[in-house]
A and B are shown apart, each in its own frame.
Chain A
Amino acid sequence: QVQLQESGPGLVKPSGTLSLTCAVSGGSISSSYWWTWVRQSPGKGLEWIGEINHSGSTYYNPSLKSRITISVDKSKSQFSLTLSSVTAADTAVYYCAAVPGGCSATSCYLNFWGQGTLVTVSS
Chain B
Amino acid sequence: EIVLTQSPGTLSLSPGERATLSCRASQVVISRYLVWYQQKPGQAPRLLIYGASSRATGIPDRFSGSGSGTDFTLTISRLEPEDFAVYFCQLYDNSPLYIFGQGTKLEIK
Contacts and interface: CB of A to CB of B under 8 A. Distances in A.
A104 B13 CA distance: 36
Given A46-B45, A95-B44, A106 B51 contact: yes
B54 interface: yes
Contacts of A63: 96
Interface string B84-107: 000010101001111111110000
A59 B99 CA distance: 14
A38 B98 contact: yes
A59 B100 contact: no
Contacts of A46: 45, 88, 90, 100, 103
Interface residues of A, number: 25
A103 interface: yes
Contacts, number: 64
B95 A110 contact: no
Interface string A76-88: 0000000000000
B98 A108 contact: yes
A116 B90 CA distance: 18
Nearest to B103: A45
B100 A107 contact: no
Nearest to A113: B44
A118 to B, nearest CB: 11
Contact of B32 (A48, A97, A107, A115): A107
A113 B38 CA distance: 12
Contacts of B102: 45
